[in-house]
A and B are shown apart, each in its own frame.
Chain A
Amino acid sequence: MITAALAAPAAIWLFLFLILPFCAMLVFAFGKRAPEGGYQAAFTLEQFANLPSRAAAFWNTLVLAPIGALLCLLVAYPVAYYLAVKAPPQRRMILVALIVVPFWTSLLVRTYAWMYILGSRGLPNLLDLVGIADVRMLNTPGAVLLGIVYGYLPLMIMPIYVSLEKLDLRLLDASADLGARPASTFFGVTVPLSMPGVITGVALVTILLLGEYLIPQLLGGGKVFFIGNALVDLFLQSRNWPFGSAIAVTMVAVVVIVLAVSMRIAWRFAGARRVDLV
């Protein structure tokens, strides 16, 4: 009784603003676009059949999101390794906090910073002064990837740091005592044991990137656009709500698939690790 009363506000909220909106979106996705924009009741697969017309957005997202996540991993791993294994213990907490803080400050502002740096009055202007003229940095896939690595680096570092922190350092000593070179200790012991963190980080960043709007919008300038950008365009410019809903439903399906696959991989690694240690 008390339990039900305590849970009621959250339950109502979840129903009204999560379950109901999703049902509405599903209904819209099978509907038709009214002549003046908006929704007209129907039951048709027309919108889903039309998905290939936004293939470029899907392609960009499904290619650049995983590449971005992997680039992020390349930068994040050494940092996480340093924080968990090499950093002096008394300074570790402050160094970790310094990684977390940027993540909780506005992504818009942090992306704007790169727009500022890569824009024609920033770096290209400096390059111009030393004689390298006409370099375009903004509005390229490279700029979008840079923005992705920058924006999501903290989120990648944290899970890897957490799994490396649990690493028993005596295992590394044992490996060295048994004659393994540092490189083979690293790839044979450290990396496999940190895999759960790596998988969590890559999955988390990839999933968030699938819904990214700001980074491609500001650093890709409409030339490198993601599904999120196509959605904003469909909803707020061309007012084709049913088609937009169909894309959003497809996007949720992609997110669920990525999540399921990564959970499966993570599970396998967790299982494998347990066997190894016994």
Chain B
Amino acid sequence: MRAFVVAAYLFLYAPIALVVLFSFNAGRNASEFTGFSVEWYGKAFSNTFLVQALQNSLIIAFVSAVLAAIFGTMAAIAIERMSERARLVFDGLFAAAIVVPGVVIGIATLVALVTMLGLINPLIAGVWPGENPPRIGLGYFSVIAAHGLFTMAVVTMIVRARIAGLGRDMVEASGDLYATPFGTFRQIVLPQILPSIVAGFLLAFTFSFDDFIVAFFVSGSKTTLPMYVFASIRRGVTPEINAVATTVLVASLFLILGAHFLMRPRSNKPVEG
């Protein structure tokens, strides 16, 4: 039993450890460690395509996570106050956003946006006074839109769980003491749900930062970091990819530990997928 569990943990961590180890390999070989070196990190990060992809990923992840945290929290509060029927509709839509595979979300968003832009762009061109009317294309906004869908659902889920755990007594006391509804929200509710909002933000950021398949469909000419990693894997396995992979790994590790830390103090449960 114990041996099996130890083996399972080894199984989970050994491959990752190997990727990290060989990112510091001086040679090119995947089965022979020939010496310690950070040469591959230097190579990777002097590559302008990679730096651009990293920058794109950070912008997309940050914006979609901020929007998801704000709108998701607002939705979570609203859902608590809704009629039973409206709540069921929202629950169903958010559940769909989580359950529908990323491939399908990517395709559906691509199809819809290309169709909509095909209608909107000629309209803009029609009313545009100057010579070169702006064209809206796929890019940051389409990836943010598609990521925001899933991450908003995640934030709403986490914040609602926290709100459900709040006692009504403080809110009622605040009302009895003549606080305005907004005052009650700012001074009583917000401080209590803030950790779950930040945790939701971090999970949203992690998801967006790690997502490959949705961005693959809707990013247009923009390349995100996972898309860059995917493309370089197809070109061939080199220690340079290990260096990039290690960087991605460390980044998401920090984010997830942050989220875990924020969600722990009150519920004794770990972060659950």
Contacts and interface: CB of A to CB of B under 8 A. Distances in A.
Interface of A: 2-4, 6-7, 9-11, 13-14, 16-25, 28, 39, 75, 78-79, 82-83, 86, 93, 96-110, 112-117, 119, 121-123, 125-126, 150, 153-155, 158, 162, 207-208, 210-214, 218, 227-228, 231-232, 235-236, 241, 244-245, 248, 251-252, 255, 259
Interface string B180-192: 0100000000000
Contacts of B19: 109, 112-113, 116
B253 A105 contact: yes
Contacts of A245: 107, 111
Contact of B241 (A17, A78, A112, A125): A112
Interface stretch (B33-41, B47-55, B226-234): B226-234
A99 B112 contact: no
A140 to B, nearest CB: 17
B132 interface: no
B31 A105 contact: no
Given A106-B252, A121-B237, A228-B101, A22 B108 contact: yes
Given A3-B78, A7-B74, A126-B31, A100 B272 contact: yes
B223 to A, nearest CB: 14
B contact face: mostly helix, strand, loop, or mixed = helix
Contacts of B241: 112
Given A97-B270, A104-B256, A211-B103, A79 B8 contact: yes
Contacts of B213: 213-214, 228
Contact of A105 (B111, B233, B256, B260): B256
A107 B210 contact: yes
A211 B104 contact: yes
Given A82-B5, A207-B99, A10 B233 contact: no
Contacts of B105: 21
26 contacts: A4-B78, A6-B77, A9-B74, A10-B71, A18-B97, A82-B2, A82-B4, A99-B12, A102-B12, A104-B271, A109-B249, A110-B15, A112-B19, A112-B229, A116-B19, A119-B30, A121-B29, A150-B12, A150-B15, A153-B12, A155-B273, A208-B101, A212-B101, A235-B107, A248-B104, A248-B107
A10 B152 CA distance: 8
B233 to A, nearest CB: 6
Contacts of B70: 9
A21 B112 contact: yes
A112 B245 contact: yes
Contacts of A25: 104, 107-108, 111-112
A142 to B, nearest CB: 15
B163 to A, nearest CB: 13
Chain A: interface secondary structure? helix
Greatest chain A CB density within 10 A among B74, B104, B111 is at: B111
Contacts, number: 247
B203 A104 contact: yes
A211 B267 CA distance: 32
A19 B271 CA distance: 30
A178 to B, nearest CB: 23
A13 B273 contact: no
B270 A93 contact: yes
A24 B152 CA distance: 22
Most buried by A among B22, B145, B149: B149
A106 B253 CA distance: 10
Given A16-B145, A21-B112, A25-B111, A214 B212 contact: yes
Contacts of B4: 78-79, 82
Contact of B13 (A10, A28, A102, A259): A102
Given A79-B8, A104-B252, A125-B31, A7 B79 contact: yes
B104 A251 contact: yes
Nearest to B12: A102
Contacts of A122: 30-31
Contact of A18 (B96, B253, B271): B96
B15 A17 contact: no
B145 A17 contact: yes
Nearest to A214: B212
B195 interface: no
Given A121-B237, A213-B103, A21 B77 contact: no
